[in-house]
Structure 1
Amino acid sequence: MRILHTSDWHIGRTFHGSSTMDALAEVLGALTVQVRDNEVDVVIVAGDVFDSATPAGPAYTLLSDTLLALADSGARIIVTSGNHDSAARLGFQARLLRDGIHVLTDPLAIGAPVTVADADGPVHFFGIPYLEPAIVRQHFPAAGEGGAELRTQAQTMAHAMSLVRAGMAEHEGRSVAIAHCFAAGVDATVGLEREVRQGGLDMVPLEVFDGPDYVALGHIHGRQQLSERVRYAGAPLHYSFGEQDKPRGSWLIDLDADGLANVAWLALPVPRALVTLTGTLDDILSADNVAAHAEHWVCAVYTDALPQAEPMRRLRERFPYCAMVQHQPAVTGAAEVRTYSERLRTAVTDTDRIEAFLEHVRAGQGASERERVLIREVLDDRVRAEALV
C-alpha cells in the first residue's frame, strides 16, 4: 500500500497581512498531481487543516475542492483535527462525505480504525484528533475509576495510544497511527508551530508511539524524522521567515506484507521564495540584491547604528514583497554588551544617564558631539526654568 503523509495546511492563514489562499491552492494542486502520478492509495492529513476555529467561506471551498480532487485521483483520504481546527466544525459533515473521505475528530473513536485493504490484507488507520487534556479528560475514565491521570499532553497521548494498541489487538493486520502533538526529539530549528511551548508539559516521549507500523505526526512546520517509522511532514507552505530554508513536501510511505517497506520525500513547489537580507539599509537596497530578490518575500534586517527614515517605504520601492523590516544595530565592542542597568549604575549626572540610554538603544553608540551640545542646552534650560519657579 502506498500512503502520502501531509499535515498543517493552515487554510486561511495570512503571511504578514497577505493572503496565502492562492499560493496554497497552487501547492495543494501540485500535491494532488503527485498523488495521481505516484498511484497513492491513502492520503493522510495530520491536523491543522484550517488556521482558525472559525474559518471563512473561501477556506471551506479550498478544502472541499482539494478533498474532491484527491478522491477523484483514486486515493482514500483520512483527515484528523489539530489544535487550530475546531473539531466540531471540521467534522460536522463527516457522516455526509462521499465514500473514501474520512474526517476523524471524535476522541471516543480513537480505537476504531478506518480500514483499507490491499493485496497483502488490511491496513488499519487510527486517527487521534488534537487532545487538549483539560477538555478531553471528561471523555475518559478518571484515575480513581481505573483510568489514567490526564493532566499533560504526554499523559493524554499515552492514553490515546493505549486505545490505539487495544484497537490493533482487535484488528489483525498492519496499522498506521495519526496524531497532532509535540514529540520529544524534535529539532526546534525547523519551524515550530506558533503555539508550541518547549516544556515538559507539552512534550510526548517517543516511546509512546511504539506499536504501529508507521506514525504520521502533525504540529511541527518542518519535516522531521524522529525514527524510521515516526515522522513529521511539516507544512506545505512557508508560514514564517524562520522556515525559509526548510523544504516543503510530503512523505511517501510504502507498506508491504510485513509492514513499513520504504519512505521517500516528495518535494512541493514554493510559489514565492522567502529571503532574509542583512546589512546596512544601503547595502540591502543595492542593485545586486534587487536583481536577485525583487520577486521574493523579503525580511530586511538593517544594521545601521541609527534608525533610518521610512525604511519600509524605501524597501518596498525596490522589493514589492518586502513583508518585514527589523533594526538590529551591529555590535562592535565589549562595552556594548553591558545591560542598561549596568550602564545606569555608573551614571552620576543627568548627562551620564542620557548617554547610558543612548548607548543602550543604539547598541553601544552614545551621543555625537552635536547631540551633546543639544543635551547640554536642554539641561541648562531646565535648570534655569527650575530656578525661576
Structure 2
Amino acid sequence: MLGAQQHFVGQLLDTVRSRGIDVVLIAGDVYDRALPGVDVVNFFSDTLSRIRAAGAAVIVTSGNHDSASRLGFGSDILAHGGVHLRTRIDQLAVPVELDLGGATLAVYGIPYLEPRLNSEELEAAAPTHTAVTRAALDRVRADLEARRSKGRVHSLVMGHTFASGGITSDSERDLSIGGVGAVPLDLFDGLDYVALGHLHGRQKLSSTVRYSGSPLPYSFSEAGHEKGGFIVEFTEDGLGTVEPVNWTAPRRLAVLRGTMDDLLSSVEHSWAEDAYCQITLTDNDRPAKAMERLRGRFPETLVLAFEPESVPAKAAMTYSRRIAEARDDLELCCGFLEHVRSREPDPAERALVADMLARAATAEVSA
C-alpha cells in the first residue's frame, strides 16, 4: 500500500503548509510490524524530512506494532533536527516543550506499554493495561506539577492504548490476552488534551480525549470511516479549537451483497466499479466462475463470500450423513462436489464423473 500511503502523505503536507501547522503528532503505529521492510523504513525517513521541510516539527510515540527500540534509535540526535521520538519509559517525564508566547505547551509521549514487560520498571500495582497506564501518567503529572510551580504550562499527552468507549475495527491487533485491555477514560482527567493512537476510527471520547484514527482504511470494517486527523490549537490561555481535517484514500472500499445477476446488472452498484470490493453472493446455488465474472465489472474485488438466502434441506444435512446414505460411487462423488462448491454437478459434469468411475472399474477388473 505504499502508493496509497504516498497519496496520504501528499495531503498531509498540503495541510501542514496551508494551515501553518507547527507540530505533527504521530501516536503510533508507525509500522505494521516490528521488523518493517527497507522500502517502508526509507519511506518513513523521507516523510519525516518532507514534514520538516514544510515547516513543522514531529513528535512520534511507538505503538504495539512497532519495535520501540528500533523506532527510537538515534532519538537524541534526531531531536536536534526537530523530530522527537518517545519510545522509552525513561522519557515519560521528559516532554517536548513548545513556546506559546506567555506560556509553554508540554507534550508528553507515552509509548505502547506491554503490562507483562513494563509493569516492574514502572512499579505498577499490577501487570495490567490500567495499572501501567496509571503509573506512566503518575510520572507525567509529577513532572507537570513541578513545571507549573515555575510558570504557566499546558499539557498534551500522546498515548497508544485502547481507552474505554472507543469503537474498534477488524484491523487492530488485540491488546489483551485473556483479559480486558481497555483503560478507564478517567485516567486522563485533568490533562488539557490527550491524542491517542491504536483504534483506526477517528473518534471523540470526550472534549479533551480523541483518536485521530488511521490515515487509510486497513479492513472492510472501515468502509464507512471518514479518514483524517484533528488540528488542535493551543494558545497561551490553553486549549483552543479542535477541528477535524479529512484526507481521501485513492480508492474507496465497497461492501456489496446480492445475487450474481443483481450485482452484475444493477446501476445501483456503478459507484463501486473502481473500488476495493468485499462481495457476498446470496444465490442459493453457488455460481460457476464467480470471482472471474465479478471481476469483469468490479476488477478490484478482494474478498468473496457465499451466504445463500435459503439453504435446501439436502445442503443442511451433515456431510458425514450424506456419505453414509450415498447409494453408489456416482452419488458419493457428486455429493462431494456439491459439498465443496455449494452447487450440484450439471449434467455434463455428472456424465464425466460417471465415465471416470466406469474407466476406473474396468482398469480394476483388468488388473
Query: Could you state the TM-score of these two structures normalised by the residue count of structure 1?
Result: 0.78
Q: Structure 2: 5+ residue runs without aligned partners?
A: 327-331, 355-367
The answer to whether the 8 Å contact 2:104/2:236 transfers is: no
1:222-371 equivalence runs, <5 A: 222-286=201-265, 288=267, 291-331=270-310, 350=325
- The DSSP-based 3-state class of the residue aligned with 1:202 is coil
1:60-75 equivalence runs, <5 A: 60-75=41-56
- The DSSP-based 3-state class of the residue aligned with 1:126 is strand
* Residue 198 of structure 1, CA deviation: 9.8
> Residue 361 of structure 2 aligns with which residue?
none
- The DSSP-based 3-state class of the residue aligned with 1:151 is coil
1:101-180 equivalence runs, <5 A: 101-140=83-122, 147-172=123-148, 173-180=153-160
- The DSSP-based 3-state class of the residue aligned with 2:140 is helix
> Distance between the aligned counterparts of 1:148 and 1:88, measured in 2?
21
Q: Residue type matched to 1:218 in 2?
A: G
> Residue 76 of structure 2 aligns with which residue?
95
Q: Residue type matched to 1:175 in 2?
A: S
Deviations 1:173-225 (A, max 9, x none): 0010000011101124x556133559853010001112221000000000111
> Distance between the aligned counterparts of 2:62 and 2:318, measured in 1?
46
> Distance between the aligned counterparts of 2:234 and 2:318, measured in 1?
59
The answer to whether the 8 Å contact 2:284/2:311 transfers is: no
Higher relative contact order (CA 8 A, sep 6+): 1
The answer to whether the 8 Å contact 2:100/2:236 transfers is: no
- The DSSP-based 3-state class of the residue aligned with 1:277 is strand
Are 1:216 and 2:191 counterparts? no
Q: Residue type matched to 1:110 in 2?
A: L
> Distance between the aligned counterparts of 2:82 and 2:221, measured in 1?
36
Q: Residue type matched to 1:160 in 2?
A: A
> Residue 86 of structure 1 aligns with which residue?
67
> Distance between the aligned counterparts of 2:280 and 2:189, measured in 1?
44
Match for 2:19 among 38, 52, 73?
A: 38
Structure 1 residues 262, 290: closer, same or farther in 2, change over 3 A? closer
Q: Residue type matched to 1:223 in 2?
A: R
Q: Residue type matched to 2:44 in 1?
A: L
> Distance between the aligned counterparts of 2:341 and 2:305, measured in 1?
14
> Distance between the aligned counterparts of 2:337 and 2:161, measured in 1?
45
Structure 1 residues 80, 359: closer, same or farther in 2, change over 3 A? same
The answer to whether the 8 Å contact 1:233/1:250 transfers is: yes
Q: Residue type matched to 1:170 in 2?
A: A
> Residue 182 of structure 1 aligns with which residue?
162
Dislocated runs of 4+, deviation >6 Å:
338-341, 357-363
Are 1:204 and 2:186 counterparts? no
> Residue 383 of structure 1 aligns with which residue?
none
> Residue 49 of structure 1 aligns with which residue?
30
Q: Structure 1: 5+ residue runs without aligned partners?
A: 1-19, 141-146, 378-389
Q: Residue type matched to 2:54 in 1?
A: S
The answer to whether the 8 Å contact 1:125/1:178 transfers is: yes
The answer to whether the 8 Å contact 1:44/1:79 transfers is: yes
> Distance between the aligned counterparts of 2:178 and 2:265, measured in 1?
43
> Distance between the aligned counterparts of 1:203 and 1:340, measured in 2?
41
Which region of structure 1 is more displaced relative to structure 2, 168-177 or 303-312? 303-312
Q: Residue type matched to 2:228 in 1?
A: G
* Residue 99 of structure 1, CA deviation: 2.2
> Distance between the aligned counterparts of 1:360 and 1:152, measured in 2?
46
Query: Could you state the TM-score of these two structures normalised by the residue count of structure 2?
Result: 0.82
> Distance between the aligned counterparts of 1:235 and 1:199, measured in 2?
26
Percent identity (aligned):
38
* Residue 313 of structure 1, CA deviation: 2.0
The answer to whether the 8 Å contact 2:62/2:111 transfers is: yes
Which region of structure 1 is more displaced relative to structure 2, 168-177 or 284-293? 284-293
Structure 1 residues 250, 149: closer, same or farther in 2, change over 3 A? same
* Residue 302 of structure 1, CA deviation: 0.5
The answer to whether the 8 Å contact 2:276/2:301 transfers is: yes
The answer to whether the 8 Å contact 2:284/2:310 transfers is: no
* Residue 359 of structure 1, CA deviation: 12
* Count of matched residue positions in the alignment of Structure 1 and Structure 2: 345
Q: Residue type matched to 2:203 in 1?
A: Q
> Distance between the aligned counterparts of 1:331 and 1:183, measured in 2?
41
Structure 1 residues 244, 197: closer, same or farther in 2, change over 3 A? farther
